[in-house]
Amino acid sequence: MSNAPLAFERMSAADRSRASAEFLDRLKTRRTVRHFSPEPVPIELIENAVRCAASAPSGANRQPWRFVVVADPDVKRRIRESAEAEERENYERRFPDEWLHALEPFETDWRKDHLEVAPYVIVVFRIDYGLEDSRRVKHYYVAESVGIATGFLLAALHWSGLATLVHTPSPMGFLNQVLERPANERPFVVIPAGYPAADARVPVIHKKELHEVMLVR
Ligand SMILES: Cc1cc2nc3c(=O)[nH]c(=O)nc-3n(C[C@H](O)[C@H](O)[C@H](O)COP(=O)(O)O)c2cc1C
């Protein structure tokens, strides 16, 4: 593999400090939104966010991800119907009481209208192995890589002024059929994205303080 000089512009101490504080301030305003406006969103915002996600590091640079951006109302409706069928089972039969109790503050139930209302639903797939001339190519650290890329995606969408919801209807196998994805791709998370509804409300939650999450040794 050939190499090339790193393109790296060293910032001044003042610029670094400002950039760090600005990024923190913006990221801290991100909240999971569960009520979306149907207002259209320019596709360019979604494309750039996916470009950001696809720039993420990955095990051996295998880039084991696929982002299926669903805008077609018919496909969104089919995703909603299948997700609601699974979620209804979860809420009414599969979830243990402890889990239902943990979900109470979020006032969620099996109904998932955001899957139809949000202008875009981005379905992130993990690609467990590659296929080249019907030969399997090994992928490394797939969950770690796709998790990092999804974090980039969420940060980019928020940075662009859009709201998101990370949603994991479980099980998610129906997404392979609805979105016609092959067996080496597995649904990772579903992310409705758009503007928040004008009357959107969010649960009051607490984030751990720095000293609770960071140790210096
Ligand atoms: C992997 C993952 C799965 C999630 N699944 C759901 C979900 O199915 N439904 C939902 O309403 N929120 C879901 N959430 C959102 C979390 O409830 C939310 O991120 C958490 O309460 C913190 O709130 P915040 O995102 O506003 O900071 C999920 C988040 C993650 C990271």
Structural domains in the chain plus CATH codes: 40-194 (3.40.109.10)
How many angstroms separate the most distant Cα atoms in the chain? 58
Torsion angles phi and psi, residue 137, rounded to 5: -110, 130
**How many other CB atoms sit within 10 Å of the CB of residue 86?**
18
Q: What is the distance between the alpha carbons of residues 86 and 190, in angstroms, rounded to a whole number?
A: 14
Closest CA to 163 of 106, 119, 105: 119
* Minimum-distance ligand 1 atom for the alpha carbon of 103: 17
* Minimum-distance ligand 1 atom for the alpha carbon of 33: 26
* % of the chain beyond a pLDDT of 90: 87
pTM: 0.96
Which residue minimizes the CA distance to atom 28 of ligand 1? 166
Confidence of residue 156 (pLDDT cuts 50, 70, 90): very high
Residues making up the chain, counted from first to last = 217
Residues 97-150 have pLDDT tens digits of 898 888 888 888 899 999 999 999 999 999 999 999 989 999 999 999 999 999
The predicted structure's pLDDT at residue 182: 96
- Is the CB of 170 within 6 Å of ligand 1? no
- Is the CB of 114 within 6 Å of ligand 1? no
Which residue minimizes the CA distance to atom 30 of ligand 1? 166
- pLDDT averaged over every residue in the chain: 96
Q: What is the distance between the alpha carbons of residues 147 and 189, in angstroms, rounded to a whole number?
A: 9
Strand 65-70 versus strand 163-164 pairing type = unpaired
Which residue minimizes the CA distance to atom 19 of ligand 1? 32
Local structure of 187: helix, strand or coil:
strand
